[in-house]
Structure 1
Amino acid sequence: MELRQLQYFVKVAKKEHVTQAAEELHVAQSAVSRQIHQLEEELGVALFVQKGRNLQLTSVGKLFLSRLEEILSELERAVIEVKEFLDPEAGEIRIGFPHSLGIYLLPTVVASFRRTHPNVKFRLRQGTYNSLIRDLMKGEIDLAFISPFPEKHEYVSGHLLLEEELYAIVPQGHNLAENGTIRLEQLKEDSFVMFSEEYSLRSIVLEACEKAGFAPQIGFEGEETDTIRGLVAAGMGVSLLPEMALTEISQLQPAKVRVVEPQVTRSIGLIQRTGEKLPLVAEGFQSFLLHFFQETEKTMPST
């Protein structure tokens, strides 16, 4: 069994088509077909069945794929670690982040790091709270920015970086738009533009409203801070957003008002797999981040 056979198998399984797989692999279709056939003969099972013009994995093919992806992921990681050992300044950092941190925080820290480490590459993956932890546990990323920071978790651990304030946002013509501060209960009669259920910011807003003595009326839902901000600016309701999500200026701009009762914040942290040594390049980036937030927290948008 050769590595090339396994790589061809994975590509065909993903594309469900030999010709398309061959095109992406930049090899002849016959070469791919031959390697798949040899692999099936060696294993003594059929990995694919024909369905129309496409190929579909058999049950045993699906099982083989799931195990093989783990093996190839570890092999890729081993190759990266060897390269990093030889030249840690030219490695790759695999890091996950939620959308709300991709607007300001992530570009800021990556740009700052690359000023002194210009040859380091970044592989970025955006996700929700649960998907980032899942990707970290599966070994698909090495580090993740996450919010809220999980104080206790069986499989991941890390460092709290900062606490960030959430502001109320209302349409420009709203009767509270010119206020310097408000109590959250003053929005209880308004319709809320809320994040979808898989986003941690939704639970933060719901908990804040509960503390203020009301359950918000949800009129619209969205999955990105830009969408939430745009809907509020267009008069579709009110919401709460982290301050970093409000740094960008756009044509549709809501009014931003500080909430003083209760004050609403979220924790932001950096996590990794518990008990596992980071690749050298990721370890260097982690150290940089801890120093960065210790030294420059006062320059970041925060409470």
Structure 2
Amino acid sequence: MRDDPVAALLPHLRMLVALGEVEHVTIAAAMLGVPQPTVSRTVRRLERQIGAPLLEPDGRGVRLTAAARTLVPYAQRALDVLTDGLAAVETEGRRAQTTVRLAFQTSLGEQLVPELIRTVRDDDPSVRFVLSQGARASCLESLRAREADIALVSRLDPAPDGLRVVPLFEQRLVLLVPAGHAAAGAGAVSVAALADEPLVTLKVGYGLRGSVDELFADAGVSPSIAFEGEDLHTLTGLVAAGLGVAVAPQTTTTPAGCVQVPLSDAGARRDIGAAMLPDVTSEAVLAVLGTLRSLTRAGGQAQ
């Protein structure tokens, strides 16, 4: 280790814990209210001080190294001890810190979840989020196991058995094709016309995969799957490289190397909602739900 690594770590304990919670630099930066490059530079500086890497590449994203996984619990304990110390000297009327556990589909982690965290914390800095991201199925499993308070996922209409659902918004589904593809200039295409197209899609259990399977079933054709992935960034990269086409949520900014082509099928859309167990009474959880409604009602998340 370099000289005084503890002094180097102390100002950045929250950043280290945030990375440990989400293993995602962009979301961690949003949670902390700082630019993503600031987090990346700080990580590099800490790695030099500690003498060990904290993050390593994982596909198109990153994951914590073994050294970081060892260090994060100690950083969390240090923050907890400091928090307890501050609470001990504050007035009796101080509101206790409240934790809200949010499970969300990976595709919602770039815009909606960071905006939700910022908005909630601006109103009540005492709220602490514990985040988990993954496939729709795993999010709902976490909810039913009471490991999450809210599951933010797609395809909640009709509501899954035993869950309370709050609809939030809909996303139109489009066909992503590589630039130069024969369909790139088409006004619209039907799912039935995609029967012979190599399709790149998410794995079974992901919300988008369920929507894709339903679209093809409704059209009476079977997809010709060329690749099954775990995140939309991988799919768009493979489409741009010419491996195949993909059905994906429409976005305001078209991924590089791709063209968004409208789908003419009436069912080419998916619902996004918040699922909870029916016995939720936590004021903090209900406040987060209210913020979700406000954010999505404003129209900024419908794309």
**Per-residue deviation, 1:232:** 0.7
Aligned partners of 2:93, 2:200: CA distance in 1, in Å? 50
Residue in 1 aligned with 2:182? 175
Q: Give the alignment's TM-score, normalised by structure 2.
A: 0.64
Specify the structure having the higher radius of gyration (Cα).
1
Residue in 2 aligned with 1:144? 151
For the pair 1:288 / 2:291, whether they are aligned, the reply is yes
**Per-residue deviation, 1:118:** 3.5
Question: Is the 8 Å Cα contact of residues 95 and 141 (structure 1) preserved in structure 2?
Answer: yes
Q: Which runs of 5+ in 1 are unaligned?
A: 1-19, 27-84
Secondary structure (helix, strand or coil) at the match of 1:93 reads: strand
1:112-151 equivalent positions in 2, closer than 5 A: 112-149=119-156, 151=158
**Per-residue deviation, 1:275:** 2.2
Aligned partners of 1:207, 1:154: CA distance in 2, in Å? 19
Residue in 2 aligned with 1:273? 277
Question: Is the 8 Å Cα contact of residues 171 and 235 (structure 1) preserved in structure 2?
Answer: yes
**Per-residue deviation, 1:263:** 4.1
Are the structure 2 counterparts of residues 235 and 134 from structure 1 closer, same or farther at C-alpha, using a change threshold of 3 Å?
same
Aligned partners of 1:86, 1:179: CA distance in 2, in Å? 63
Aligned partners of 1:162, 1:88: CA distance in 2, in Å? 33
Question: Is the 8 Å Cα contact of residues 296 and 302 (structure 2) preserved in structure 1?
Answer: no
Question: Is the 8 Å Cα contact of residues 89 and 117 (structure 1) preserved in structure 2?
Answer: no
**Per-residue deviation, 1:236:** 0.3
Q: Give the alignment's TM-score, normalised by structure 1.
A: 0.64
Are the structure 2 counterparts of residues 150 and 181 from structure 1 closer, same or farther at C-alpha, using a change threshold of 3 Å?
closer
Identity %: 28
**Per-residue deviation, 1:104:** 2.2
Aligned partners of 2:73, 2:116: CA distance in 1, in Å? 34
Aligned partners of 1:178, 1:164: CA distance in 2, in Å? 22
Secondary structure (helix, strand or coil) at the match of 1:203 reads: helix
Are the structure 2 counterparts of residues 94 and 232 from structure 1 closer, same or farther at C-alpha, using a change threshold of 3 Å?
same
Question: Is the 8 Å Cα contact of residues 183 and 262 (structure 1) preserved in structure 2?
Answer: no
Select the residue among 206, 209, 212 that pairs with 1:202. 209
Are the structure 2 counterparts of residues 95 and 204 from structure 1 closer, same or farther at C-alpha, using a change threshold of 3 Å?
same
Q: Deviations for 1:46-88, whole angstroms, at most 9, x for unmatched residues?
A: xxxxxxxxxxxxxxxxxxxxxxxxxxxxxxxxxxxxxxx9655
Are the structure 2 counterparts of residues 134 and 248 from structure 1 closer, same or farther at C-alpha, using a change threshold of 3 Å?
same
Aligned partners of 1:86, 1:158: CA distance in 2, in Å? 34
Q: CA RMSD in A?
A: 2.9
Aligned partners of 1:114, 1:248: CA distance in 2, in Å? 28
Aligned partners of 1:175, 1:141: CA distance in 2, in Å? 45
Residue in 2 aligned with 1:259? 263
Amino acid paired to 2:166: H
Q: Which runs of 5+ in 2 are unaligned?
A: 1-68, 76-91
Q: Deviations for 1:77-136, whole angstroms, at most 9, x for unmatched residues?
A: xxxxxxxx9655842221110001112222233233333334422211112222212211
Of residues 147-156 and 96-105 in structure 1, the stretch that sits farther from structure 2 once superposed is 147-156
Aligned partners of 2:130, 2:103: CA distance in 1, in Å? 8
Aligned partners of 1:241, 1:114: CA distance in 2, in Å? 31
Q: Deviations for 1:161-190, whole angstroms, at most 9, x for unmatched residues?
A: 112111110011101112232222332221
Aligned partners of 2:218, 2:147: CA distance in 1, in Å? 38
Question: Is the 8 Å Cα contact of residues 184 and 262 (structure 1) preserved in structure 2?
Answer: no
Are the structure 2 counterparts of residues 150 and 135 from structure 1 closer, same or farther at C-alpha, using a change threshold of 3 Å?
farther
Residue in 2 aligned with 1:300? 301
**Per-residue deviation, 1:220:** 1.1
Secondary structure (helix, strand or coil) at the match of 1:204 reads: helix
Task: Count how many residue pairs are aligned between Structure 1 and Structure 2.
Answer: 219
Residue in 2 aligned with 1:217? 224
Question: Is the 8 Å Cα contact of residues 170 and 255 (structure 1) preserved in structure 2?
Answer: yes
**Per-residue deviation, 1:150:** 5.1
